[in-house]
Amino acid sequence: MVLPVNKPALITLRATDVIHSFWVVEWGPKQDLVPGMTTRLHITPTEVGEFKVRCAELCGLSHWSMLATVRVVPEDEYIAWMNQKLAEQNLQTASR
């Protein structure tokens, strides 16, 4: 996941199997994910960097490996990243 610094973000979360919890330690709040429900986390990242996303709910045998990275970047870098992703998507769509 890539987010622009100092811009509000709305992260929509869903679980399909058991209760999970989306948590970036440096951001403070965590958001639980309950199967069958859509939950949302409103966050405004204020620091540029790479942060680990963890599941903060003991959710099963693979709980220990539920890690991801979120990058918070300056707005111009975010716009360049988004434009690149859109161009890649357009190429994939055109080649079908």
pTM, entire model:
0.84
Domain interval for residue 21: 2-94
For residue 28, the domain's CATH number is: 2.60.40.420
Q: Give the confidence band of 95 by pLDDT, cuts at 50, 70, 90.
A: confident
End-to-end CA distance of the chain: 26
What does the pLDDT look like over 72-88, one tens digit per residue?
A: 999 999 999 999 999 98
Tell which residue, 2, 21, 13, 4, has the closest CA to residue 70. Answer: 2
What does the pLDDT look like over 20-61, one tens digit per residue?
A: 999 999 998 899 999 999 999 999 999 999 999 999 988 888
Question: What's the domain count of the chain?
Answer: 1
**Does residue 14 contact residue 33 with C-beta atoms inside 8 Å?**
yes
Task: Identify residue 31 by its one-letter amino acid code.
Answer: Q
Tell me, what's the pLDDT at 69? 97
Tell which residue, 26, 6, 12, 17, has the closest CA to residue 78. Answer: 6
